[in-house]
Structure 1
Amino acid sequence: MTARTLVPILIPGLLAGALSAGCSGHATSAAAGRAPGAPALTKAQAQQVLTSFAAGANRAGRRFSGKALRSVETDPQLSMDVAALRLRRAVRQRPPKLAFTNTTFYIPRLTGYPHWFAADTVSGKGTAAQRHALLFTQAGQGAPWLLASDPYPSENALGRVALDTTGFATPVGPNVKGLAVAPARLPQAHASLLTDGPRASGASLLADGAKTTETYKALKQGEQTLAGRGVTLSSRFSPAPYKVYALRTKDRGALVWYVLKQNEAYSATHQGRLTVSGDLVGLAPAKVARTRMDTTVLVQYLATVPPKGRAMISGMYRKAVTAHGS
């Protein structure tokens, strides 16, 4: 997060423009009673985690140090932000200092590890302000709290989370019933839609929008544009091997964090048609791609799932993490 840049779902340079320490706040309680389990930490302790994270991320940013990020982040966030730091180092542009304001914590009652909590917060000021849906995890007793995910929400999605009478949230299991789609099914449904289109199996579980059907259309248009330049692109999405997290919302739905992996393969009949540019800078030498380039991209999503209807995508963070040319 310290070094990320906002990038479209397609690689800039090849398909540019396809898409485009605060105090804890208060949220309205909407859940009657309490869920089983106990909160892993207090809101004051969560604030300490957030403050410590910002300090560690700023140290990493000043040094362009992916190694330093390991003290405050875990995958998938770590792999994505290490790649973003490599891009920053390549273009000699340090990230701005990170500080959070207007923070509200959403701490679920849990019965086992990993422990985790979410934070709705803002970094930057004015036109540079950016909202975050931070998700921190603790792997086991005594383990450090690390940032695992931070999809940028396009709205106040976390404001929908229900709180019990003492101000804590309720986790939602991956295979829970009573939702339009179980959280565990979201990654595959979304991957199918982005790979094979709106008629793919499970694609109808997600509402039309910029990060679903419009992304698929942009990918197809991008493939046609590249074909006109003598470049063939194939792109496939799949669920990434990371845990799905979810919190109960006030309407008895769920707010879900999950991750997809995008594998892209570019090929050209003539050398010089492929270049390492845009989001891929820093991942491979500029002239490594002669007639083929393969990339791996991680895409974090935040989805709002109602009891009935279709899931809406409320946030996203995309970053290429590997690039290989031949």
Structure 2
Amino acid sequence: MRVRARVTTAAAGLALAMTVSLSGCITVHGERAVLPAVSPEEAEEVLADFTRSTNEANAAYDAELNAQIETGPLGAINRAGLTARGEVNPGGNESYEPLEFTDTRFRIPQQAGWPKFFVADTLSSRHEENRWLLVFTRSGPQEDWLASYLAVLPPGDLPPLAEDEEGHAVAVGPDGSRAGGAADGPAGEGQDGPELAPRDLPGAYTGHLASGDGPFAEGVHTSGILRAREEASDEPAFVMQYQDLPAERPAYAPVALMTADGGMLVLFSSHHHEKQTMAEGETPVVDPLVEVLMEGTATRSVTLVRDAMQAAHVPPGTGDVEILGRITGIVSAKGE
């Protein structure tokens, strides 16, 4: 940030908004049996409904419709963005260009119990080459499929995913155990599994941002963030304070698939508070989209609360975790 720089959303163009319910057939004995989370035909229907809903809600800036189809960090980020844009532009987005998906590959694991998930690995009309990974989660046999995560990755950054004997993706449980009908443990035969379990990643990552410690490779979403924060601390016109928290609500739970190297591709979320306190005589300038979400009046300071979605490759053994991609959005703000 700089003196009198506008406080704005970090991912203004990435908000997706969805409407209507995405239904799926009830999986018989889904509580006990190890079965594919969804059939390919059902997954295609879910994505088609998702696409129609995205285009309808984004054009109208309708946050209420979004709540019917999204959950977790993706839903929180998008609903805040739609709420803000709907207040600033109540007539909707007349220049909205419909979103389209092509070259879709469904990554469907076999799972027992609930929740279940699958991943749509697809190209979008928003990016010519980058792959979108859309995670759909279903919390019970009577519930609808809800989109919970999005990652946008260059195709070369997506590690090859493992498959079981039947060609299904292999889910990894919160504790690092390999789900489905394959052998126990996250690694293949003769391989060491990842030392860090999916449920440990949110805390490890936010701890890394707070202290610089932890098993994370250098990159724009790790050491790059730390450098940017250090540079901001040298500004004489304001003081920055940060608080990074792991996301712990069930809807924010990480999802993980086993990679061909015996590691994991994990999508996980976190919360980030950024407080900018201006020097005497300076006043924050707040973007109108942030002001809609803000409690209080920004006379001296502004605190932004962001949700973040990270996609990480956790290698087998004790190698460093690589954060492949990260999407953030402001979900609330406070002025003082």
Looking at structure 2, the residues matched to 264 and 292 of structure 1 have their Cα atoms a distance apart, in angstroms, of 10
Q: Which residue of structure 1 aligns with residue 6 of structure 2? A: 13
Picking from 292, 299, 306, the partner of 1:290 is 299
Tell me the equivalent position of 2:194. 179
Letter matched to residue 102 of structure 2: T
Corresponding position of 2:142: 142
Taking only aligned residues, the RMSD between alpha carbons, in angstroms, comes to 2.7
> Among residues 222, 233, 238, which one is paired with 2:240 in the alignment?
233
Residues 259, 298 of structure 1: 8 Å contact kept: yes
Question: TM-score, with normalisation over the residues of structure 2?
Answer: 0.78
- 1:183-198, aligned counterparts within 5 Å? 183-197=198-212
Q: How does 1:106-117 map to 2 (within 5 A)?
A: 106-117=107-118
Q: Distance in 1 between matches of 2:282 and 2:111?
A: 54
Match of 2:312 in 1: 303
Contiguous gaps of at least 5 residues in structure 1: 1-7, 18-35
- What is aligned with 1:21? none
Deviation at residue 196 of structure 1 after TM alignment: 1.9
Q: Distance in 1 between matches of 2:50 and 2:202?
A: 28
SS at match of 2:261: coil
| Post-superposition offset of 1:192 | 1.2
Say if 1:133 and 1:151, in contact at 8 Å, map to a contact too.
yes
Which residue pairs with 1:254 in the alignment?
264
TM-score by length of 1: 0.81
Secondary structure of 2:6's match?
coil
Deviations 1:61-101 (A, max 9, x none): 12111001012111221110012223433564734311111
> Which residue identity lines up with residue 54 of structure 1 in the other structure?
T
Aligned residues: 289
Counterpart Cα distance in 2 of 1:142 and 1:299: 29
SS of the residue aligned with 1:151? strand
SS at match of 1:76: helix
Long gaps (5+) in structure 2: 11-32, 177-184, 186-192
Q: Secondary structure at the match of 1:150?
A: strand
- Of 40, 46, 55, the residue aligned with 1:49 is 46
What is the alpha-carbon distance in structure 1 between the residues aligned to residue 9 and residue 171 of structure 2? 38
Between the two proteins, what is the percent identity of the paired residues?
28
Change (3 A) 1:279 1:313: farther
Structure 1 residue aligned with 2:217: 207
2:162 pairs with 1:169: no
Quote the Cα distance in structure 1 between the aligned partners of 2:69 and 2:5. 29
Residue 58 of structure 1, CA deviation: 1.4
- Whether the 8 Å contact between 1:154 and 1:314 is mirrored in structure 2 is no
Asked if the contact 2:151/2:311 (under 8 Å) is kept, the reply is yes
- CA deviations 1:288-310 (Å, max 9, x no partner) are 31012222101100101111311
Using a 3 Å threshold, how does the CA distance of structure 1 residues 264 and 173 change in structure 2: closer, same or farther?
Answer: same
Equivalent residue letter for 1:193: H
* Secondary structure of 2:231 counterpart: helix
| Contact 2:8 2:290 (C-alpha < 8 Å) held by counterparts | no
Cα distance change, pair 140–246 in 1 and its aligned pair in 2 (3 A): same
Q: Which amino acid aligns with 2:6?
A: G
The answer to whether the 8 Å contact 2:73/2:308 transfers is no
- Amino acid paired to 1:290: T
Of residues 85-94 and 98-107 in structure 1, the stretch that sits farther from structure 2 once superposed is 85-94
Alpha-carbon offset, residue 318 of structure 1: 0.5
